[in-house]
Structure 1
Amino acid sequence: MDSNHLDRLIQKYIDRTATPAEQEELNNWYRDFTGEEDPFPMTDEQEAVAGQEMLSYLQGRIQRKKRPSVAVFASLAAACMLGAVIYMNWTTTPENQNFVANIPAAASENRFIYLPDSSKVVLHPGSKMDYQYKGNNREVTLEGEAYFDVTTHPDQPFIIHTGQISTTILGTSLNIKTYQSDSVSVSVLSGKVQVTDANQQKTILTPNQQVVYNQHTNNIQQVKIIQATVIDWAKSDMQFQDMPYEQLAQRLERRYDVSIVFKNPALQHCPITGRFSGTESLNEVLDILSQTMGTTYSMNGRIVELDGTACFNQIN
């Protein structure tokens, strides 16, 4: 199979936009290289194992070229503080936890945030989020756009307030967008949510469903969505071509609010080509980079140390 065609198939597989025929073509390619027979029919557990097996094989297939680069592929299933103008505030007491993030529209990267309950948020530039935990409720007030991957706590509802609507979640991933005062959209990627409007009308959403609420007319419209297109914005700062590792490290510092140190300075010049979904945690990103670069990393608080040999076949 032509390598360019294979790369396109892999990216479409990662983005979950591959057609059944393209998925079968990629499956056939994988079986040809592993020599294994078609394992279908498979249970869900077997299919998950097979998916991880394929991802590992694809990572192992990546080769460093004469002008070294690394192609990084990360699953969609398994974003950003910029400069001194970002406002971050965190206060906590035994009775109350509060977190505020405000990212200017001029920021070039998204912001990845871990909330105190271990929920993950990817915040779009030009957005503001206020998280509070008091009593048994986890409540967020959002202006702008954000992706949420909410940790399940059955006795602690997670409620997102956007304009005139509120979205109640027990455990799910979703995207909420409200840049203008006239409309709010809620898109569910997994799990189940309840959207309540100003008139207390309730709408239940399941995966691949979206509601758009007009705050002037109180009209609510429900439509089907394609997940990859809804959160396409989250990967905008995690697609890079032949980027020096040092420049990528600076991007990751802003995105995840950490400091990255190169124990071997020669690694800073290694170019990297990568494609992530944008919803991965820092550990997930570093794990993939380490596997493909043949390097190691360690974390001490918010300080990350990278180590390893310089690029293979590096030209002096």
Structure 2
Amino acid sequence: MERNRLDLLIQKYIDQTATPSEQEELNNWYRDFSGEADPFPMTDAQETAAGQEMLSYLSSRIRRKKRPPVAVFASLAAACLLGAFLYVNWSKTPENKNLVASIPAAASENRFIYLPDSSKVVLHPGSKMDYQRNGNKREVTLEGEAYFDIASHPEQPFIIHTGQVSTTVLGTSLNIKTWNTDSVSVSVLTGKVQVTDASQQKTILTPNQQVVYNQHTNNIQEVKITPATVIAWAKSDMQFQDMPYEQLAQRLDRRYDVNIVFKNPALQHCPITGRFSGTESLSEVLDVLSQTMGTTYTIKGRTVELDGTACFN
């Protein structure tokens, strides 16, 4: 679909002037869109404006009775997803400085992790990470693949060790992959990082850059990347079509290490279609689902209770 046509359909949808056929055309575009690369990138200001409009529209359209199956198009509300990442796989007490997280290779969901320093990690199945606080340094040893969104603490460098490569960041988002002993790849989505190899050779990376280090030959290859493609794996378990809410809740249980319960059991059968980037926190996901479904949620420790009127009465 051409950009002008898409802009027109979105605006008519927001203005509630789109015909049924135009609404279906827009819905079909989202269903067919793979999301591996954004064909129509927006500036931060444009994303913020679009997110605010969509959130306002969703709020005005909430219906608690006789609702049809709901589609959650998170890409349009991405700028609204600015919440706290609430869930962790360990205690966040100050004395808890050495933390280990892993996920079995056979797992069907990625694992979302919130570090004590407010950094966020999405861990790929089959991966393991060890987080430590050593003096003023924050250090992680990674095996496998992970997406990092590092909280900026200039006085506390964040160092990620992968094989013979060390990556130092102050505040940025990046993807690191090391599935075997042959190579390590570091991809920067935002910010700036410094990659140091076994021979102490240093490489500075900025957004949309990747370095691949061969640990046998010490060869370094730098390439340009498309961020959405690099972290496409992170959303593999956050794409769902007409999925019963109960099944989605079970998926979120495993992904965020929580226990979701339904105060109104009838909600379990409501079908949901949605697409998220995979880097959102549980609270961000629940905010969008609640706005769209007209439901509410409460959090007590690691238990989340969903409530509201069922989609069909």
Class of the TM-score when normalised by the shorter of the 2 chains: 0.7 to 0.9
Q: Output the CA distance in 1 between the equivalents of 2:206 and 2:28.
A: 30
**Residues 63, 70 of structure 1: 8 Å contact kept:** no
Q: 1:181 — aligned with what?
A: 181
**What letter matches 2:104 in structure 1?**
P
From the superposition, tell whether residues 281 and 93 of structure 1 become closer, same or farther in structure 2 (CA, over 3 Å). closer
Q: Output the CA distance in 1 between the equivalents of 2:304 and 2:284.
A: 13
Match of 1:6 among 22, 26, 32: 26
Matched, 1:17 2:38: yes
**Residues 187, 210 of structure 2: 8 Å contact kept:** yes
Secondary structure of 1:146 counterpart: strand
**Residues 14, 74 of structure 1: 8 Å contact kept:** no
Q: 2:102 — aligned with what?
A: 102
Q: 1:152 — aligned with what?
A: 152
Secondary structure of 1:131 counterpart: strand
Matched, 1:208 2:196: no
The alpha carbon displacement at 1:16 in A equals: 5.5
**What letter matches 1:282 in structure 2?**
L
The alpha carbon displacement at 1:294 in A equals: 0.1
Matched, 1:138 2:138: yes
Q: 1:50 — aligned with what?
A: 49
Q: In terms of mean alpha carbon deviation, does 9-18 or 287-296 score higher?
A: 9-18
Q: 2:112 — aligned with what?
A: 112
Secondary structure of 1:6 counterpart: helix
**Residues 188, 207 of structure 1: 8 Å contact kept:** yes
The alpha carbon displacement at 1:180 in A equals: 1.1
Q: 2:3 — aligned with what?
A: none
TM-score, normalised with respect to structure 2: 0.82
Deviations 1:292-314 (A, max 9, x none): 000000101101010000114x5
**What letter matches 1:234 in structure 2?**
A
Q: 1:70 — aligned with what?
A: 70
Q: Percent identity?
A: 73
From the superposition, tell whether residues 9 and 68 of structure 1 become closer, same or farther in structure 2 (CA, over 3 Å). closer
The alpha carbon displacement at 1:59 in A equals: 4.0
Q: 1:250 — aligned with what?
A: 250
Q: 2:231 — aligned with what?
A: 231
The alpha carbon displacement at 1:74 in A equals: 2.0
**Residues 166, 196 of structure 1: 8 Å contact kept:** yes
Secondary structure of 1:234 counterpart: helix
Q: Output the CA distance in 2 between the equivalents of 1:304 and 1:256.
A: 11
From the superposition, tell whether residues 187 and 260 of structure 1 become closer, same or farther in structure 2 (CA, over 3 Å). same
Structure 1 unpaired stretches of 5+? 24-43, 79-87
Secondary structure of 2:51 counterpart: helix
Q: Output the CA distance in 2 between the equivalents of 1:116 and 1:8.
A: 41
The alpha carbon displacement at 1:50 in A equals: 1.5
From the superposition, tell whether residues 254 and 3 of structure 1 become closer, same or farther in structure 2 (CA, over 3 Å). same
RMSD: 2.7
**Residues 117, 151 of structure 2: 8 Å contact kept:** yes
**Residues 92, 98 of structure 1: 8 Å contact kept:** no
Matched residue pairs, number?
Answer: 281
The alpha carbon displacement at 1:202 in A equals: 0.5
TM-score, normalised with respect to structure 1: 0.81
Q: Output the CA distance in 2 between the equivalents of 1:10 and 1:241.
A: 12
The alpha carbon displacement at 1:158 in A equals: 0.4
**Residues 62, 294 of structure 2: 8 Å contact kept:** no
Secondary structure of 1:105 counterpart: coil
The alpha carbon displacement at 1:3 in A equals: 3.7
The alpha carbon displacement at 1:199 in A equals: 0.7
Indicate the structure whose relative CO is greater, using CA pairs within 8 Å and at least 6 residues apart.
2
**What letter matches 1:18 in structure 2?**
P
Q: Output the CA distance in 2 between the equivalents of 1:307 and 1:211.
A: 47
Q: 1:28 — aligned with what?
A: none
